[in-house]
Structure 1
């Protein structure tokens, strides 16, 4: 019956097939595993059998990113062009006035804001007033009138088709902006209309809460982990979703049915299965928590995070090469570029990143390494930007900060013990 429930929604996608492709057009198949142990849920994304992303839900640790709050401005600092807002967390949240879109702000004023960064032990959460409410195929921007389209949709005919649908949708709510997500590629108009109407209902409920609740108050909470996976991660490249708990399995099937997502033949239940030893996840996580990362040729990386940025140092290590120094350096740096893109994604490192590749005299070798890095970063759903080499030969790049890092979950000794993670 469960398969029948989702089968009727598989024809919502138009006949044109769209597969997720890498930098050079190679199809990259992915598998998602979701494991529940008690109240803790951990989900992993595998590419070619290798863990590339890890997500988790722990009810003991409140997740803030994406949540929308109503809170009073408790401190206004014109000299820092910033305000601090009480949203009910241990530390007041930081709002840069560059991110404030309303009229002039004042101390004591109640504002509606969204968390864009969780913060850490020293800093509170970071806020924006540019509210976004995401759906499966669309994102609405209630305070910004716009019609946008994901840059990852590159087929010109498909872009024009989706933009035409977006223009129609904007007439239903002229004061609310919308952005079409990558997942909308190939979907029919009916699915997009349903998603837009659902988001408008969510926004109306949020506004009613803002009018009636006393600040500080939570107005909108980011969805459950299983819903987030279906909404943000599942596309045509995901060939299989494995779960070990029947409740989660049924929840995901229901959400897929309500949101026109076809899971036929892809979602599988393995009741009570422990996926960690099956996919050697413990060893992969342990390596991702260590500062030293060995490369296949015998070279290695040192990854160190500071308060301001992350530094990656590339070394030849045990690799001596077979031809000449220039070729030894080139091969080591190319392997390093591939591994760095992978490590940033798995460790979920955000912010500024400085990479100290081994010095390259040949400009063609530099460009080859740069191209390889961009090719591998193209697999990452998180926005990255590569700025190139500085005069000192250091490569500068950024990766958007999203959710907590991999290391943060395994700070908890109980979780490390539960999953046999040794640091």
Structure 2
């Protein structure tokens, strides 16, 4: 089935968004909304100032602008680049240090920053504190070994190299060219940083839709489509090939029912083909998903019927986590099953499904109460949070 990436502008309640939507056929897999009037700070690099050290959290709060503190874990403090250092071997209040925003502010939590700076390309990522050579685990073993041998001569003690999934089957020259580009970007920033004043933005990340474009598995992407001339120029200038959609009778987002899919992704209830349904309820601490049999009724072999609904629910849950960008702790209350073999089948099925997610998902365990625990890495805001500020 063809995979397409739609990048278009969408207006909701007087707010204009750049919508980045990944489709498999007509099924919407991922959707991100970026307000045109509000710039994201994710992946920006700043000269920050340490405002507070919180010993019981083993953390610091580092301001990247006056009155804008960010959370920083001192466990991650390995070899930071200081612009100004108070006379102490440890990080202390008043230090000025180069940091990168690695998580947006989510709900009441402030943004999170790291001193492990990353320079991200389509095929590679350079990292400043982790100096190892890492290869994407999503690649086959044979391809992992080939790429490891290819880049082994470039290992050094200044920065690390992470090979992304998109490097698979790519010409060696393209990988080497990107390596040189990222290396120059890293060297220039490191040289300039020590001469910049506090709260300077050393590197501004590209628009969110271009960052998302780099994250998409290029080998599985058949087409990038946009109907906006400005976005079309930006996509092609970034080295990607976009198709320009032009039809005055049928808009791009209507062709793909984007607004309808968005509204469905914001609903609490999700219906299953069997007649069962999910109830998805985010809370401050975690997200709870309840699986219900609903209109699905079995007169015979009830346990087999429950397993069938649960397997269908698992597929839809994996889809909804990705579509809604639900992250953190997720608790799923599946329909109770008596047989351990049925529970094992469900857990194995769920683990296989979440491997398709572009964000790391871990299926932790099933509790004695038959609640399934998952975690999904937090990076960007959930879909619901992306439009929270609508008027």
Instruction: Look up the match of 1:268.
Output: 243
2:53 match: 76
Equivalent in the alignment of 1:136? 122
Q: CA deviation at 1:90?
A: 4.8
The range that moved more, 204-213 or 402-411, is: 204-213
1:35 is the counterpart of 2:8: yes
CA deviation digits over 1:117-143, x for unaligned, max 9? 112352211122222211111111122
Cα displacement (A) at 1:31? 1.0
Aligned partner of 1:298 in structure 2 is 275
Which runs of structure 2 are paired with 1:90-169 in the superposition (5 Å)?
A: 90-102=67-79, 104-156=90-142, 158-169=143-154
Contact 1:314 1:336 in 2 (8 A): yes
* Pair 1:189-2:172 in alignment: yes
Structure 1 residue 234, shift from structure 2 partner = 4.6
CA contact (8 A) 1:169 1:196 kept: no
2:233 is aligned to 250
Which residue of 1 is the match for residue 365 of structure 2?
A: 388
**CA distance in structure 2 between the aligned counterparts of 1:33 and 1:278, rounded to whole angstroms:** 11
Given that 1:226 and 1:248 are in contact with CA atoms closer than 8 Å, whether structure 2 keeps it comes out as no
Q: Partner residue of 2:326?
A: 349
How big is the shift at 1:89?
Answer: 6.6
Distance 2:22 2:299 in 1: 36
Separation in 1, partners of 2:196, 2:168: 38
Secondary structure of the residue aligned to 2:187 is helix
What is the TM-score normalised by the length of structure 1? 0.84
Which of 300, 318, 333 is 2:310 aligned to?
A: 333
Larger strand proportion, structure 1 or 2? Answer: 2
Deviation at 1:116, TM superposition (A): 1.8
Moved more, 105-114 or 244-253: 244-253
What is the distance in 1 between the residues matched to 2:322 and 2:234?
27
Asked if the contact 1:40–1:59 (Cα under 8 Å) also holds between the matched residues in 2, the reply is yes
> Which runs of structure 1 show a deviation greater than 3 angstroms over 4 or more consecutive aligned residues?
37-40
Determine the structure 1 residue equivalent to 2:82.
Answer: none
Q: Which runs of 5+ in 2 are unaligned?
A: 80-88
Question: 2:259 maps to what in 1?
Answer: 282
Where 2:238 maps in the other structure, the secondary structure is helix
